[in-house]
Each structure stands twice: as structure tokens, then as C-alpha cells.
Amino acid sequence: MFATSTQRHFWMFKDETDVSNARLSANIKYISSRGRNMTVIEREAHFLNVVEEKSLIMSYEYQLRDFCRKFHPPMPRYVIGTALHYLKRFYVNNSVMDYPPKEILVTCVYLACKVEEFNVSMDQFVGNLKGDREKAAAIILNNELLLMQQLDYQLTVHNPFRPLEGLMIDMKTRFPTFSDPERLRPGIDEFLEQVFYTDAILIYSPSQISLAAIIHSASTSKENVDEYITKILFSEDQKRLLNLIEAVKKIRVMVRNVQLPHRDTIKALEKKLALCCNPDNNSESPAFKKRMKQSFDEEESFEDGQYPSASSDQVRSMLMGLSEMGKI
Amino acid sequence: MDDYQTCPKCKTTKYRNPAMVLMVNACGHALCESCVELLFAKGSGACPECKCPLRRNNFRVQLFEDPAVDKEVDIRKRILKEFNKRQEDFPTLREYNDYLEEVETIIFNLVFDIDPTNTNKMIDNYKKENKDITQKNRNRQSQEEMELEELLEAEKAQQSEKANLYVNAELEEKKQKHKAREKLIDELMFSDADAKSIVASHVQATAALAKEQPKAAAQPSSGVVKSSKFSSGIQIGLRGQHTNSFLPIPKQEDLPLYRYTAPVFDYDGPPPPPIEKLGKLNYFANIRAANIAERAGGYTEAMSCCRALQEALGGLFYSPQLTHKTAVLATNSSTQDTDDMETT
């Protein structure tokens, strides 16, 4: 359940400013570690700032969705939801410049398929990718453990889809005056698609999001489900009703403000990213390749937790995360 | 150890032929069974090491690793059959010790073939002088052995008797309980007295009976009175140790019974209807029914319906909180700052 899950206990924020703060700290950490010898102005020109990072992430989220939509066999929406969740969580803790988003994106989808029990073999998976398949498989497998480590090994994600079904069933049973809630489905689906591009999933519980979807869809079709909410859901707790109304309003505002960044801006940002990204983690760069070759030659074993892209304090967090692996 | 036992003639070891058995002859040398047979197939033979004449029935299966030990054991047995005086036969301890030393000397001489003629003469002399005493001792020995055997048998009989008694007592108890129960039922059916008082009186009666049982079992059954000690003072058998082992186990006092408490979940939302009531509330009309294959596996619509409702209603009361780890680190650092400020 959401109330006892790690999602609620470790991955929730108070509001959007908190999320931005977390991203800001990750950004600052990266810049300060890489740009030690530059002046402030140089840094600003060279590195991406938080806003630019956010736009980049949003564009990659769109790419993820496109990838999943064309996926063969057809991917159910909760897998996509989980993958987007992972992507968001990863880039709350890390900067876009540190790890190339393209690779992390694919790894997120792969891991989500595994966790949500949507069984796809590696061959099938990379069959959906363009380009060198073996290389892609190697990239995914290399990044998988890193991704899990950055998620603190807390892989269970509660998506709004099942609460949505539950609310539908409840509405049909206890609120028969509202005829055929299925009419609201298209609006709901669209809303839920959009909500994944916001930070709402990191702030509100999935059942609140699905309720917001229902309300939104109802209001666009000029219907009114307020009676359902006040009389039936919250008949006993009137004060919590206010809390919920507040939450729903905020979610709807967030979704309304979603804006896909312009393609030209994205192109420019990607060029900038290519310059300032961390060469150790970018599998294209010669430095990375050299390091990988070195590690193979020395037959380094990863006993000390040194995955190709991890640092020593992340090792500590990994060890902590291992102890929490059982919690859901 | 296995490698050590090599037949000196054919050199097979136990390792190579695990069934090999070494036999020892009268002169103390070892031969494996097959070699013994071989030797005596060609008529009576001589020991391959020392060439003394041997007879087939002088070969015994080797008990000890060292054939010399076996030889000595044999000689000792033979001699002690003749020299069987005991401590009571001698007036002083000193004389008894002298006698023993004489016996040992004879055995030693025989084993190592020292001065055989003289030793044999000594033996013959002794035999002649002590013929009757030897005979008497022999008889006494056999008598004592018989007594020992009788004692052992008697004890076995006693133990089995006790076991039978115990089994019988249990059967008796069961019968009595059964009778008491039937009596209770009869009384309840037919008598006019108050039901509670009947039950109470029965409880009392059974309690009184229960008290009598351990007393009866504590009395040991008096069987045949046999001597419980050997002549040297050692106790025979385990008599003193387990007369009390057949008492019934004492009843434990009543400990509090286990009481099941159902786990309570905090949904953080309006409570969903419990799974048992879903059918009555007509939820199943709005959910896909389970097909036959699913139902055979144990799945019912109630399960998915209940789960969907729980997830839908759970978390609706949630208000946003900062639980992400960046928050924890931030608050830690801020509290540290305030601490520093306070100290300065």
C-alpha cells in the first residue's frame, strides 16, 4: 500500500520548490567538482543551469514515452509510469551532466519491465532500439546496478492507475446517479499522461492524482462529481476534504502548466551538454573506454562496490540501501 | 592401521583384500587365512618364521594388532586356568603377592621362550601340589557366575513388570475418566438437581481421584528380594537410580492462552469496505468476473476488487511532506549550525 511504502517514506517532497532545491543541489555539486578552476561567468557559460536541466529532462521524458509507445510487445501503462518515476528520481539526485540521459532512459525502461513483471528478454528489448544492439545491451547492463543504487534499491512504485480503477468501481457502485463514468476515460487518460511530466508524482499520493484526473475530466465534459466526493468519500471527515481539494487544485495547475520545450532549444542544450558532460560516464568518450579496458585487463573485481560510475560515498549509501532492500 | 596388517608370507594387506583375516598360531606369528589353509593343505606344517611344528586348531583369529600380544593373552588364559587361587586362599597379603609374581614369571617365560624346561617343571609341580584347591576354586567360580546371571535375569523381569503396571494404570485411568464423564451426562439428563451443582460436584470428584493416583504409583512394587550388592560391595544394576521414573508428569499451572489479534492497517484515507462485504454491497456488478481457469486457481473477483478499492481510498488523506533524503541531510546541517550558535 502507498501508506506503508518506501515511496511515501523516502521519495516524497513537500512542494515543487523542494524538488527544485534537490535538483539545484545536485547541479551545484557537479559544477563545483568539475569547474574548480573556472570563474563564475565561465561556469555559467559552460555548464547547464537548473532550468536548462529541467527542460532537458522533460524532453527525455517525452522520448521515453515515445520509445515505450512503439515498443514491441505493447507495453502496459504502469510499466511506463514506473520507468518515468525512476527517471525522475534518478535526476533528482544527480545532475544531467553527470550521467548521459539517453543511457539512463533505456536502463530505466529495462528495469521497470523487470520490476513490474512485464517479461522482456534483453534481445527483444534491444530489438526495439536503433543502432548497435550489442553495444546497447552492454550499456544497459552496465548502468542497471548504478540506477538501482541511485534509487536506494527502493524499486516498488505506486502508480495512479490502480487507484483509478478502484475509484471507478466505487463510483459505479456507490454513486449510481452519475451515469456511466466510463465516458470520462479519455479525459482521464490524457490527464494522467500529462501528470507524469510534472513533479506531482513526487509530491502527492497516487490516489489523490487519480482523483484529480477524474475531477478534471468531469469538469472538461461539464459534469460534476463533487457530490460523490463530499457525500460518499468524505462523509465522515469534512476537514480532510479541504486538504484534498487543495491537493487536487494544485495538481491540476501543475498539469495545466506543462509545456513541451521547443525543439530548437533542446538541440542547443544537447550540444552544450555534449561539451560539459562527465567523460568518465559517457560511454562515447575515449577516457571511459580506456578505463573500461584497464579494468578488464587488471581483472578488477567489484568487491569494494566500485561500479564503473560510482564514487566512494555512494558505496556507503549502497551498503545502507542493501539493508533496506526488503522494505516496500 | 590397515596397512600394518600384512601377511608375512603372501604380503597381501587389508587394503588390498578387505576380507583378509590374520590368524595367530601358538608360537605367536601371524598368517592370513588363505596362507594357513595353504600351509595345511600340504599336511601339517611348520611356522614359516620360527619353524616350530604347528597344528591347525592351534590357530586363533587375531584380536590384537600385535601378534605377540595375542600369544601372551592365549598363554595367560591357559595358565590362569591352572593357577586360579584367590586372595582368600592366602593368610597374608605378602604371600598372595608372591604367588601372583610367580604366575607372572611363568607367563613371561613362556611368552618369550626363556628357560622352557624349568618353567614347565614349575607348572607341573604346582599342579600336583594344588590339585584339590584348584578344583574347589573352579567350582566356586562357576557357582558365582551362575548367581550373577540369575540376578541379571531377575532385574530384567522386574523392569518389565513395572512397565506393565504403568500401562495398566494408564488404561485404568482412562476407563475411570470415561465412566465419570458418562456418569456426569447421565446425572445431567435424569436428576432434578441444578446443573451447575452437578458439574461442580463432578469436578471435585475428579480432582480427588487425581490426587490419589500419584500416591498409588509412588509405592514401588515389591518383587522378589534379591541381594543388591556384589560380594565386593558394588551395587548391582541401576536399582537406586530410576524408581521414580514412572511417576506421571506434574501438571503445569495454567498459562494465559494465546489470543489472536488481527493486524490493523493505517490507510491514511477513508476506510475501504472489508473484503467479506463486497458482494453484499454489489461491487461485483462493476468488475470483470473471474473465468473458470482463474477460479480454479483460487482467484476470485473479490481479491482484485478489494485491492483496487484499498489503493483507491488509501492515501487520500495524505498531505505533502518532505521525506526525501536531501531533506534529512539539510535538516541535520541546519541543526548543527544552531548548536554551534548556542555554544558561542
Specify the pLDDT at position A15.
87
In a domain, B151, yes or no: no
Q: Are B320 and A15 an interchain contact pair (Cβ–Cβ within 8 Å)? A: yes
Q: CA A46 to CA A273: how far, in whole Å?
A: 9
In a domain, B334, yes or no: no
Instruction: Give, in words, the CATH class of A160-257.
Output: mainly alpha
Confirm whether A10-157+260-274 and A160-257 share one CATH topology. yes
Q: Which of residues 250-269 of A touch B (CB under 8 A)?
A: none
Specify the pLDDT at position A321.
58
Q: Are B322 and A14 an interchain contact pair (Cβ–Cβ within 8 Å)? A: yes
pLDDT per residue over A118-132, tens digit each? 999 998 999 888 888
Q: Are B314 and A247 an interchain contact pair (Cβ–Cβ within 8 Å)? A: no
Q: Which long-range contacts (CB under 8 A, 24 or more apart) does B321-325 make?
A: B321/A12, B321/A14, B322/A12, B322/A13, B322/A14, B322/A18, B323/A8, B323/A9, B323/A10, B323/A11, B323/A12, B323/A13, B324/A10, B324/A11, B324/A12, B324/A13, B324/A18, B324/A22, B324/A92, B324/A202, B325/A10, B325/A152
Q: Are B269 and A236 an interchain contact pair (Cβ–Cβ within 8 Å)? A: no
Disruptive mutation site among B280, B326, B334 for chain A (greatest number of A CBs within 10 Å): B326
* Residue at B100: amino acid letter: L
- A36 or A270, which is more confident? A270
In a domain, B162, yes or no: yes
Nearest chain A residue to B280 by CA distance is A173
pLDDT per residue over B213-267, tens digit each? 665 555 544 444 556 677 776 666 655 555 555 667 777 777 888 889 888 888 8
Distance to chain B for A58, nearest Cα, Å: 21
In a domain, B224, yes or no: no
Disruptive mutation site among A25, A93, A205, A229 for chain B (greatest number of B CBs within 10 Å): A205
State mean pLDDT over B70-77.
82
Range of the domain at B281: 275-312
Average pLDDT taken over every residue of chain B: 77
Q: Which three cell numbers stand for residue A278?
A: 562527465
Distance to chain A for B200, nearest Cα, Å: 52
Q: Are B313 and A152 an interchain contact pair (Cβ–Cβ within 8 Å)? A: no
Q: Are B326 and A236 an interchain contact pair (Cβ–Cβ within 8 Å)? A: no
In a domain, B145, yes or no: no
The CATH number of the domain where B23 resides is what? 3.30.40.10
State mean pLDDT over A179-208.
90
Distance to chain B for A98, nearest Cα, Å: 18
Cis peptide before B263 (omega within 30 of 0): no
Disruptive mutation site among A23, A173, A225 for chain B (greatest number of B CBs within 10 Å): A173
Average pLDDT taken over every residue of chain A: 83
DSSP letter assigned to residue B115 = S
- Chain A residues close to B282, C-beta within 8 Å: 173
Question: From 2.40.50.140, 1.10.472.10, 3.40.50.150, 3.40.366.10, which CATH number describes the A10-157+260-274 domain?
Answer: 1.10.472.10
**Dihedral class, residue B233 (left if φ above 0, else alpha if ψ from -120 to 50, else beta):** left
3-state SS assignment for residue B229:
strand
Specify the pLDDT at position A4.
87
Q: Are B317 and A237 an interchain contact pair (Cβ–Cβ within 8 Å)? A: yes
In this complex, the residue of A10, A174, A207 whose CB is nearest that of residue B316 is A207
Specify the pLDDT at position A310.
46
A3–B contact, CB cutoff 8 A: yes
Ranges of H-type helices in A183-256: 185-195, 206-220, 226-227, 238-256
Q: Are B308 and A14 an interchain contact pair (Cβ–Cβ within 8 Å)? A: no
In a domain, B163, yes or no: yes
Residues 6+ away with beta carbon under 8 Å from A300: A306
Q: CA A122 to CA A141: how far, in whole Å?
A: 9
Cβ atoms of A27 and A50 within 8 Å: the answer is yes
A247–B contact, CB cutoff 8 A: yes
Q: Are B315 and A3 an interchain contact pair (Cβ–Cβ within 8 Å)? A: yes
- Chain A residues close to B263, C-beta within 8 Å: none
- From residue A219, give the alpha-carbon distance in Å to each of A180, A187, A216, B313: 15, 10, 5, 21
Which one, of A164, A84, A163, A67, lies nearest residue A120 by Cα? A67
Nearest chain B residue to A212 by CA distance is B316
Distance to chain A for B298, nearest Cα, Å: 21
pLDDT per residue over B263-288, tens digit each? 888 888 888 888 888 888 888 888 88
Distance to chain A for B343, nearest Cα, Å: 29
pLDDT per residue over A134-186, tens digit each? 888 998 998 999 999 999 999 999 999 999 999 888 888 888 887 788 888 99
As to burial, measured by CB atoms within 10 angstroms (0-12 exposed, 13-18 middle, 19+ buried), residue A247 is buried
Q: Are B319 and A236 an interchain contact pair (Cβ–Cβ within 8 Å)? A: no
In this complex, the residue of A1, A25, A204 whose CB is nearest that of residue B314 is A1
Which of A44-53, A136-145, B192-201 is predicted most confidently? A136-145
Q: What is the largest CA-CA distance in chain B?
A: 118
Query: Which residues on neighbouring strands pair with residue B13, listed in sequence order?
Result: B6
Distance to chain A for B324, nearest Cα, Å: 5
In this complex, the residue of A21, A152, A244 whose CB is nearest that of residue B316 is A244
Specify the pLDDT at position A110.
94
* pLDDT exceeds cutoff 50 at B339: no
* Residue at B56: amino acid letter: R
Residue with cell 592370513: B32
Q: How many CB atoms lie within 10 A of CB B174?
A: 10
Q: Which runs of E-coded beta strand occur in B125-235?
A: none
Residue spans per domain, chain A: 10-157+260-274, 160-257
Nearest chain A residue to B318 by CA distance is A205
Disruptive mutation site among B303, B304, B311 for chain A (greatest number of A CBs within 10 Å): B311
pLDDT per residue over A276-287, tens digit each? 877 777 666 666
Cβ atoms of B33 and B23 within 8 Å: the answer is yes
Could you give the strand order of the β-sheet that contains B30-32, starting from the edge strand earlier in sequence?
A: B30-32, B22-24, B60-61
Q: Are B312 and A162 an interchain contact pair (Cβ–Cβ within 8 Å)? A: yes
Q: Are A3 and B283 an interchain contact pair (Cβ–Cβ within 8 Å)? A: no
Sign, Cα dihedral of B339, A10, A192, A83: positive
pLDDT per residue over B100-139, tens digit each? 898 888 888 888 877 878 888 888 888 888 888 888 888 8
- Chain A residues close to B285, C-beta within 8 Å: 172-173
Which of A198-212, A220-234, B268-282 is predicted most confidently? A198-212
Domain boundary among B29, B62, B95: B62
Structural element, H or E, at residue B23: strand B22-24
* pLDDT exceeds cutoff 60 at A201: yes
Q: Which three cell numbers stand for residue B144?
A: 558365582
- From residue B62, give the alpha-carbon distance in Å to each of B69, B75, B208: 10, 14, 66
Disruptive mutation site among A2, A4, A93, A154 for chain B (greatest number of B CBs within 10 Å): A2
A172–B contact, CB cutoff 8 A: yes
Chain B residues bordering chain A (beta-carbon distance below 8 Å): 265-270, 281-283, 285-287, 305, 307-327
Q: Chain A to chain B, count of Cβ pairs less than 8 Å apart?
A: 134
Give how many domains chain B has, as a whole number: 3
Q: Are A210 and B312 an interchain contact pair (Cβ–Cβ within 8 Å)? A: yes
Q: CA B150 to CA B159: how far, in whole Å?
A: 15
